[in-house]
Amino acid sequence: MSTTKHVKTALTSMVVALGVVVPPAMAQSPEPPPITSYGGDPGRLGDPASWRTPEFNRDTGLVSIGAEFAYTAGYAGAGMNIGIVDSGFFAGHVREHGSLDTDYATGDRFFSVRAQGGETGLTPGFYDPAFNDSHGTHVSGTVAASRDGVGETQPDGPEANMHGVAFNSDVYLGNTHKTDGVFYGLLPPNATTVQTPDNAYLANVYRAVNTAKTANHRPIRLITSSWGSQPPTENYNTLEPTPGSPDGFGLNAAWRFLSTPDGVADPNGRTEHWLNGAIQVARTGTILQFTAGNSGYANPTPRGAAPYYLPDLEGRWYTTSGINPTVGSTFNADGSVLVPGQQEFNQCGVAKWSCVTAPSRSINSTWVDLVDGVPQPRYKAASGTSMAGPHSAAALALIMQRFPYLTNQQALYTMFTTGRQNSTISDAAGNAVPNPDAGRIVQVPDSRNGWHTPSLREAMKGPGQLLGPFRADTRGYSDVWSNDISDVAIRARGQEDAAEAAAWKATKAAKGWTHGLPAGASDIDKSDYATGTRREKARNARDHEGSLTKSGSGTLFLAGNDTWHGTSTVLGGTLSIVGSHAGPIDVRGGTLGGSGSVADGVDVAAGVLQPGVAPLEAAHEHVAPGNVLNVGGDVRIGREGRLAVAISGDSAYTSVRAAGDLVLHGNLHVDAGGTLTRGAVLTIMSGRSVSGTFHGLAEGGVVRADGHQFRVSYRNNRVTLTVTR
């Protein structure tokens, strides 16, 4: 079966023709499509710095997330559909919404999604000055404004031009029918019509974007939301109101309001609630991003914190806090970012396991000004987590493009576990203090930064950690994961879960909830109990160690120092260890190969153990060739298993070296070629001891392969083949 190949990050040459960046002929494949930009674009595959043009640098957020490393690997969002819910996009930004296909003369990558509901009639996704502001235009530009080299004709000239993170992607935008001033929580008594959301309509906007028919017939896999403002009736700095503060203060109170079930009147008298539409969409598997808010609280907004209250949303919903890339940032000698910046605005708080940070200060993007009442395209810098959210969402889209075989959740967790740490963390009192690990890859999310700032440099290399069981169905792709992959975060979460479980047990005892809620419990107690039991259920279901299951055709090469604690299982295709692997590996189908090391044992109950990486395969996949797979534990070949070795010379053959025992019951397959010397002894396996034999091959048995003949022996703790012909 043929295997589709990726463009690898190690490619170092390219062809530029009419603004199309094309990988070398050897690596051409249906995916990814070539990056398209303007003719003469200096960006080259394998040269990250070549992408840092003035247009690139005008969004200071691009270098902060390492966007150039996605582009240099061949990924700019082609084929990806990104959903946005915001205050419309101005269609007059034709060049920024266009593509090379039309020479940027039409906005052929930005699509309006129409929705209606509640008291709002059918509304397109386009900016309308009657009820919109520039917020959605700015956000959508950060996501996907084109890399056209010129930008719009406007008073500031081409010096204002910028491009979005995923500049080859398509955008599908649903309109809030409001400005960014609309409140998303408990309305104050004096709220104006402009500040009052149409809940039923907004819920339908999320549903409409999620089910929109796209130009390429592929799904919208993520929707980003930065719209709206915190009402003055709410405060998220604490979970419960502080003494003397209004009842609406505290994150828990804000969540109780926002999560009111449909059909039940909230304190504003509304019986339909927009958040329920968004939750419904997330439960279809689409990733939703909500920004964390701008007030400097210790927690994000309740919509950003939704996975804390509804743990089933983890892996489907996340929030984005901000960083100031001009404070605390440092750079490597090659111009790439080391420390992305300093966290600002609302912190990740209780949502830290579903939170990242991204650039949020003085972000230049597309804008619209009314000139004599007529909307005109402009560029403008703005600050806030509204600017951070589209950076992280578009980065996630590039990760999805890079790894088309990963699920949405797996792509999100790849972004989480490859984040680069910011300059500050919190001390025990919650104050910002210098981060001693600033610039390093995140290990465990913290309450200030969550998973810190996405790093596309690391994310292009695969996951940084396994957050529990990870089933990698490569679906015909062959790929290399070269990060050092651990499970340190999920093991740390096990300790957090234990502490939370003890606290919950004490709370239930103190409140008399050990056997359930008493009759006549208050609405607050009902909400708190529901949250506590949901979190208890999630804790009990969580696996606190990483494990990998490889399925589907194609080869997955593990090239890093992989230290997760769970078992790796091969069910289909090939898992090739070309780095180091700490845990045991079970083969239940497919093939285990490679020329690296496995510190624990290998059990081949079914499938194939095929050591080695051939030079041609190694060159194509940009991994090191080699003939020997080293195993630190036992190697067992079950009755349904098989060892396959390749021989091309007296000293050129593949083999397994084990520190433990060899237990043999399955078959032996030999692929022999080249010139062999009669009497040459080839050690294809070695270990502490050998028990059993290959099926049908007793001591001295004859193996014939490709015109050659060998005699097998199991003596002296080795399995040898002696050339007899």
Residues 536, 540: Cα–Cα separation, whole Å: 6
Other C-beta atoms closer than 10 Å to the C-beta of 531 total 18
Phi, psi of 532 (to 5 degrees): -60, -40
Q: Is 89 helix (H, G, I), strand (E, B) or coil?
A: strand
Helix/strand/coil (H/E/C) assignment for every residue in 435-474: CCCCCCECCCCECCCECCECCHHHHCCCCCECCCEEEEEC
Side chain identity, residue 634: D
DSSP string, 347-410: --GGGGGGEEEEE-SSEEEEEEEEETTEEEEEEEEE-SHHHHHHHHHHHHHHHHHH-TTS-HHH
Q: Which two tokens stand for residue 159?
A: 């010096």
Residues 599, 590: Cα–Cα separation, whole Å: 21
Which of 6, 135, 273, 544 is the catalytic position? 135
Largest CA distance in the chain: 96
Answer yes or no: are the C-beta atoms of 222 and 408 closer than 8 Å.
Answer: yes
Helix/strand/coil (H/E/C) assignment for every residue in 110-133: EEEECEEECCEEEECCECCCCCCC
Residues 6+ apart with CB under 8 A from 368: 90, 92, 93, 127, 134, 137, 375, 376, 377, 378
Residues 697, 400: Cα–Cα separation, whole Å: 48
Answer yes or no: are the C-beta atoms of 390 and 226 closer than 8 Å.
Answer: yes
> Of 509, 399, 402, nearest to 74 (Cα)?
402
Residues 23, 7: Cα–Cα separation, whole Å: 7
Alpha carbon separation from 547 to 133, 270, 565 (Å, rounded): 47, 46, 7
Task: Establish whether 386 is a catalytic residue.
Answer: yes
Phi-psi region of 468 (alpha: psi -120 to 50; beta: other; left: phi over 0): left
Which of 6, 41, 59, 86 is the catalytic position? 86
Q: Which two tokens stand for residue 75?
A: 């990924």
Residues 68, 47: Cα–Cα separation, whole Å: 9
Task: Establish whether 135 is a catalytic residue.
Answer: yes
The CA angle 132-137-143, to the nearest 5 degrees, is: 145
Residue with tokens 């390219």: 14
Residues 456, 714: Cα–Cα separation, whole Å: 50
Alpha carbon separation from 532 to 237, 501, 504, 526, 539 (Å, rounded): 20, 9, 7, 10, 10
Residues 454, 112: Cα–Cα separation, whole Å: 28
Range list of H helices, 545-678: 615-621
Task: Establish whether 163 is a catalytic residue.
Answer: no
Which of 321, 386, 426, 595 is the catalytic position? 386
Q: How far is CA 257 from the centre of its chain?
A: 31
Residues 458, 337: Cα–Cα separation, whole Å: 12
Residues 448, 445: Cα–Cα separation, whole Å: 9
The catalytic residue positions are: 86, 135, 386
